Structure 1
Amino acid sequence: MSSARRVAVIGAGPAGLAAGKALRDAGVEAVLYERGDRPGGLWARGDLSPAYASLHLNTSKGRTEFADFPMPRQWPDYPSADMVAAYLADYAERFGVVPHIRFNSPVASVRRDGTGGPWTVTTESGDTERYDAVVVANGHNRDPRWPDPAPPGDFTGVQMHAHSYRDAEVFRDRRVLVVGMGNSAMDIAVDASHVARGPVLLSARRGVHIVPKYLFGRPADATGGALAALPWRARQRVAETMLRLAVGRPQDYGLPAPSGGLFQNHPTISDTILHRLTHGEVEPRPGIDRLDGDAVVFAGGTNDPVDVIVWATGYRVSIPFLPRDLVGDDPERLPLFKRVFHLDDPSLAFAGLMQSTGAALPIVEAQAKLAAAYFSGAYALPSPAQRRRAVARALRAATARWGDRRPMMRVDFDQYVADLPRETKAGRARLARGAAPPFTPTHREETPA
C-alpha cells in the first residue's frame, strides 16, 4: 500500500505541460497521457493538429508566455505556430516533464473506483493504471462545430471545416466562401485571397470587433494590460474609443456591426483582413439563407457561385473519457470552483476548460499551480457550500457581462491571473487555521512496473 500522491494528467499541450511541471515542482508524481507523438498539443503541426501554415499567435508574446519560462527576447511580438510548438517542447525538456509523458496514448476512460477510491485511467490500447487524482487538460479545439441546423438546400461543391485547413493551395483557382468572423476565418480568407478565383467571400450573421495586432506602435493587447486596473466597463469605453480612432468600425468595411462590446464578445485579431477588404480581394456577405447547387444564396436574396465553403464555425467542448454524471450533458456548462476543481469531487481538476479575454498560457499556468498546491497538501479548499456560492456569483457576473454564450467558461484574463495566486494564499491560510482538510491521497495497490 502507498500514500504517495500520484496524479494523471490528460493531455500534453500547454495546459498539460503546465500541470506536469507544477505537480513535479510540488513534489507530486505526474503521469501525462498524450494522444500524439510529441509535446505541444494542437500547436505541434501534424495529422492531429488543426494548426495551418500561416498560423501565428494572435496575442503578443509578452502577454502569452509562461511566467516561469519567458519567450526569447529576439523573437517577434507574434511568433509563428512552429515557434510556439518549439517553445512548448523546450519548456517540457527544461522542466523535466518529457520523461513523464506517455505518447501515442489516447485515453478511453477515466473512472473513480467507488466513493473516495482511486481513479482508474484506461487508454484506447487497454492499458490501465490507478491514481489519486486527475487533471483534465485535453483542450477544447478538437471537435469541430458545424452549423446546426445546416442551411437548407444542396451544395454541389466542396465543404470543409476550418479544422481541416492546412495551406492555401486547396483554394487555388477556386471560388471560395469562408463562413465565420473569428481569427481562423480571417486568416483563411486572407490566405485564400492570394490564390482564389475572384474575391473571397466572407459571410457572417453577427459582427465582431476587429483589432489590429498593433495600436499606436505597440502590441494591441499591451494596451489592455495597461488598463487592467480599471473596471471592465471603463476599460471597454477607453479601448473602443482607441480602436475607433485607429481603424474605424467594422461597418466601415462592409462587415456587420459587433453584436456586443469590446471585452464582452471575443474580438478578432488581424492586421491583414481590413487591407484585403479595402482592396476588394475579400468581399463581405451577410448570413447564408440557403444552398443552391453550385451557388450560395445570402440573406436579402443575393447569390454567388461558389466552389468551396469553409465553415470557420468553432469547436465544441468534448470530454468523452469522463462519465456523464461528472460532466453533465454539456461540458461547456460544467461548474468548477475557480474554473479548476470539480464541485462534487475536487480530486478531479481541470486546466484550460475556460474561454479567456486574453492568452491561454498564463491562465493554464496559474490553474496548474493552484491544482498542484491542493494535490501536494499545501492548500485547503473552502467548504463545499462556499465553493458553490463562489461559482454561482461568478456565473451571475459572467452572464451579466457575456450573456448566454458560454458564460460558465468565461474569465477576464487580467482579473483571473491576479485572482488565482490570491486564492492560493487564502487556501494556505485556511490550512494553517485547520479550517478545512487538505487533499489526502487514496490508498491503492501499487501498479506493477
Structure 2
Amino acid sequence: MNLLYSVLVSILLVDFNNAVPSKISKKIVPNPRVCVIGAGVAGLTSARYLQEEGISFTVLEATRYVGGTWRYDPRVGTDENGLPLHTSMYKHLRTNLPKPTMELRGFPVPEDMPSFPSWKVYYKYIQDYAKHFDLARHIKFLHNVILVSREDNVWKVKYQNVLSGEEFEEQFDFVIVGTGHYSKPKYPNMPNEEHFTGTVIHSHDYKEPEIYKDRRVLIVGAGPSGMDITIDVANYAKTLVHSHHSKIKFNTVFPKNYIRKPDVKEFNATGVIFQDGSYEDIDDVIYCTGFQYYYPFLDKSCGLDLSPKSVTPLYKYMVNIRQPTMVVMGLTVRACLVVALDAQSRYATALVKGNFTLPSHDEMMEEWNRRADVIRAKGRPLSDIHFLAEKEDEYYASLTEESGIERVPPVMFKIRSVDTQAKLDDLYTYRDYVYTIIDKDTFVRTLEDKDVNRIR
C-alpha cells in the first residue's frame, strides 16, 4: 500500500503549468529531404515513421550493423575499420527496465521474452523490427558522418565510405541526430593514478566478470551501470570495493566480499586511499562514471552549445532552438528511453511533414530558460536539463498536445516508478517481477506467478 501511495503522490505532484499550449497547424516544406544519423533505436524508429509518411530520407550508419549500443562486441577500442567501438554492452547485461517499457510502438515484444531480457534477446528484437519494416534499404551502412554544417539555408552533410575512404556531400532540409550519448567515456581525474600498477578501465570497455576471479576490484560510481556491474563482478572477485557518494539509499544486502567506501582521495602503486583516510589494496579498477555528450561532426554553424555534460538549447529536450530543422534524439535521462525515443521519432516525423508549427524562437527559448532557471535555483548543474524523472508523463502529454501524435500511455511512467522502487528495495530481486499492462493507466505486477498488486 505504501508503494502504491508513493506512486500516486508522485503522479499528482507533476506540474503541468510549464506545458506549452499550441494550436496544431500545418507548415509544409515541399518534398523535404531528411538525413538520419545512426541506425540504433533512434535511427530505426525515425526511419520507420518517415517511411510510413512517404518522406525522402537516408540513414547513415558507420558500422555494418543496426542496433547501435545494443549489439554486444567482445572487442574494445576500435573495430575492424579503425573506428571507435560505440557499443557499451557487456556479456551478462539484462535490461534494467521491464519489457513493456522496452516495446516499440506497433511491434509487440514476443510473448516468451523474459520480463527483463538479456542484451542478446533484445538485440534480436531490434533486428526483427528493422527487418519487419524493411528499413535496411534506406540505410547506407559503413558510411561515417564527418561533418554537418548549415549553409545557404540547407544542411550540408559530409560523410565517408569507411572501406574506400571516398567522401561524399549531400544537402538536406532536416537532420535527425540519432547517435546517442553512451559511447564516449567520462573518466574522473584521480590524483596519482599514473602510479597505480594494476589495470584501469571504464565501464564502456567492461565485457565480462570472469576475468576478475579472486581479484581485488575497485568500482567507482553508483549509477545504473555502476550498481549492475558491482553485482556482476562481486560474484567472482575476492574483494569488491565500491567507492561512491550517491545519496540514494539502497536496501540491498550485498555479499560479504563487498566493501563500501567514500570517494577516492588518491592512488598509490598497489591500491587506493579514500577520503576517510582508509586504504585498500586493489588489483583492478572499473570506472562507472558515465559518458560524455559527444558530437564531433556538428559544426559551429549548427547553433548548438556542446559540452561533455550537456547539449543546449533544446526545445522539448530535442529540437535545436537556433536551427529547428535539426533534432537531437535520446538525450533524456531518467526515463523509459525506448518509449521516449519512439515518441520523439513520431514528433520529429510530424515536424518534417508539417503537421504542426513550432513556437517562435523566443517562445522556445523562454520555455528552455524556465527549465534552466529551476535547475540553477536548486544549485544543480546544467546537465540536469536533460532529466525527465517525475516529469516523464507530462513530457509525453506535451508532445501529443503540440504535434498531434498518439499519446504515450501514462502506465509507462507508472511502471518505471514502481520498478525504480523495486531497485531500491533489492537489486538482486527487482528483475524477478513481471509487469503486465491492463490498459493505458493500469498494470499488474506479479512474482512467481502470484499476483502482487494492481496499480492505477
- The residue identity in structure 2 corresponding to 1:370 is Y
Corresponding residue of 2:384: 407
Do 1:11 and 1:33's aligned partners in 2 also have CA atoms closer than 8 Å? yes
Corresponding residue of 2:398: 419
Aligned pair 1:201/2:179, yes or no?
no
Taking the TM superposition and a 5 Å limit, the aligned residue runs for 1:147-162 are: 147=188, 149-152=189-192, 154-162=195-203
* 2-structure distance, mates of 1:170, 1:413: 39
Pair 402,416 (structure 1): closer, same or farther in 2 beyond 3 Å:
farther
Aligned pair 1:80/2:121, yes or no?
no
* 2-structure distance, mates of 1:187, 1:334: 30
* 1-structure distance, mates of 2:231, 2:290: 18
Aligned pair 1:361/2:358, yes or no?
no
TM-score of the aligned structures, taking structure 2 as reference length? 0.74
What is the CA-CA distance between 1:401 and the residue it aligns to?
6.9
Corresponding residue of 1:69: 107
- Give SS of 2:36's match: strand
**Deviation by residue 1:367-394 (Cα, 9 ceiling, x = unmatched):** 1111111111222111222211122223
Corresponding residue of 1:334: 312
Pair 24,175 (structure 1): closer, same or farther in 2 beyond 3 Å:
same
What is the CA-CA distance between 1:146 and the residue it aligns to?
0.2
Among 132, 138, 162, the alignment partner of 1:100 is: 138
Corresponding residue of 2:355: 378
Corresponding residue of 1:215: none
Among 113, 116, 120, the alignment partner of 2:157 is: 120
Do 1:59 and 1:358's aligned partners in 2 also have CA atoms closer than 8 Å? no
Taking the TM superposition and a 5 Å limit, the aligned residue runs for 1:109-188 are: 109-114=147-152, 116-123=153-160, 125=165, 126-147=167-188, 149-152=189-192, 154-188=195-229
Unpaired runs of at least 5, structure 2: 1-28, 76-84, 406-456
- Give SS of 2:154's match: coil
What is the CA-CA distance between 1:40 and the residue it aligns to?
0.7
What is the CA-CA distance between 1:354 and the residue it aligns to?
2.3
Do 1:113 and 1:120's aligned partners in 2 also have CA atoms closer than 8 Å? no
Do 2:154 and 2:172's aligned partners in 1 also have CA atoms closer than 8 Å? no
* 2-structure distance, mates of 1:73, 1:414: 26
Taking the TM superposition and a 5 Å limit, the aligned residue runs for 1:264-343 are: 274-275=252-253, 277=254, 279-325=255-301, 326-330=303-307, 332-343=310-321
Unpaired runs of at least 5, structure 1: 211-246, 248-273, 427-449
Taking the TM superposition and a 5 Å limit, the aligned residue runs for 1:432-447 are: none
Aligned residues: 357
- The residue identity in structure 2 corresponding to 1:191 is D
Aligned pair 1:15/2:42, yes or no?
yes
* 1-structure distance, mates of 2:311, 2:177: 16
Q: Percent identity?
A: 29
* 1-structure distance, mates of 2:375, 2:110: 35
Among 60, 63, 69, the alignment partner of 1:42 is: 69
* 2-structure distance, mates of 1:78, 1:318: 29
What is the CA-CA distance between 1:132 and the residue it aligns to?
1.5
- Give SS of 1:423's match: helix
TM-score of the aligned structures, taking structure 1 as reference length? 0.75
- The residue identity in structure 1 corresponding to 2:116 is Y
Do 2:190 and 2:265's aligned partners in 1 also have CA atoms closer than 8 Å? no
- The residue identity in structure 1 corresponding to 2:262 is P
- Give SS of 1:345's match: coil
Pair 402,60 (structure 1): closer, same or farther in 2 beyond 3 Å:
farther
What is the CA-CA distance between 1:4 and the residue it aligns to?
2.4
Corresponding residue of 1:239: none
Please report the RMSD computed on the Cα atoms of aligned residues, expressed in angstroms. 2.1
Corresponding residue of 1:396: 373
- The residue identity in structure 2 corresponding to 1:380 is T
Do 1:9 and 1:16's aligned partners in 2 also have CA atoms closer than 8 Å? yes
Pair 190,311 (structure 1): closer, same or farther in 2 beyond 3 Å:
same
What is the CA-CA distance between 1:129 and the residue it aligns to?
2.1
- The residue identity in structure 2 corresponding to 1:315 is F
* 2-structure distance, mates of 1:393, 1:176: 43
- The residue identity in structure 1 corresponding to 2:332 is M
- The residue identity in structure 1 corresponding to 2:207 is R
- Give SS of 2:124's match: helix
